[in-house]
Amino acid sequence: MKNKKFFTTRLLSFMLLTAFLFSCSAQRYSVNELNDLLTNERITSPNAIFSVLRPHDWRGIYENKYNSAEIWLVKDDYSETLSLNRISLTKTTDVSVLLDAAIKYREINYGSELRDLQRITEIIDEEKIPGFKYANKKGKNVFTYLYTRNNFFVEATLTTSKSEVDPVVFAVLNSIK
């Protein structure tokens, strides 16, 4: 009886430890999982500097009246939008400096409209992608990430009513050419 309790306790401890370790895993997405979210159709920026693959159930918008995005994607049901802009720099900059500047820009231009501003980081195949999130005045959640690809930075901003970021953002970022 004593051995059975000891074995049961050890087995339960092992199962709890295993569950804890898997739940604490830093990586939420793998590149292979993300690739399944994309079509083979490439959306190119107007200046042809970069392009991305279009996600399933999303469309590229080319009538960008205010030129607010080099690439603008909208989910077919209009529940989410994703804008992508290349950041041109004259010298190499640390991504944390760019992140600070992007946050400051939002604070200056949107001020009291920003709610619950938080820094966030996602990890794709061990690559850290820094960003921040906030709620806008319409109650939508805005997730912005800075991504380094092909020796330039891209700012990706997802606007959604969901509380979690859509993995499509990282699939699109990973498809940049």
* pLDDT for the residue 95: 80
pLDDT exceeds cutoff 60 at 105: yes
The residues facing 147 across adjacent strands are: 154
* pLDDT for the residue 18: 45
Average pLDDT over every residue of 157-163? 92
* pLDDT for the residue 23: 38
CA dihedral defined by 47, 109, 104, 144, rounded to 10 degrees?
-50
Q: Which residues contact 11 (CB under 8 A, 6 or more apart)?
A: none
pLDDT exceeds cutoff 80 at 135: yes
> Three-class SS of residue 95?
helix
What tokens were used for 97? 């400096």
154 close to 147: Cβ distance less than 8 angstroms: yes
Rounded Cα distance between 141 and 119, Å, is 13
> Three-class SS of residue 147?
strand
Tens of pLDDT, residue by residue over 5-53, are: 555 555 445 444 444 444 333 446 677 778 889 999 999 988 888 899 9
Tens of pLDDT, residue by residue over 44-103, are: 988 888 899 999 999 998 776 666 788 999 999 999 999 998 887 766 677 888 888 888
* Angle at 177 (CA atoms; ends 62, 129), nearest 5 degrees: 95
* Domains of the chain, CATH where assigned: 26-174 (3.40.1000.10)
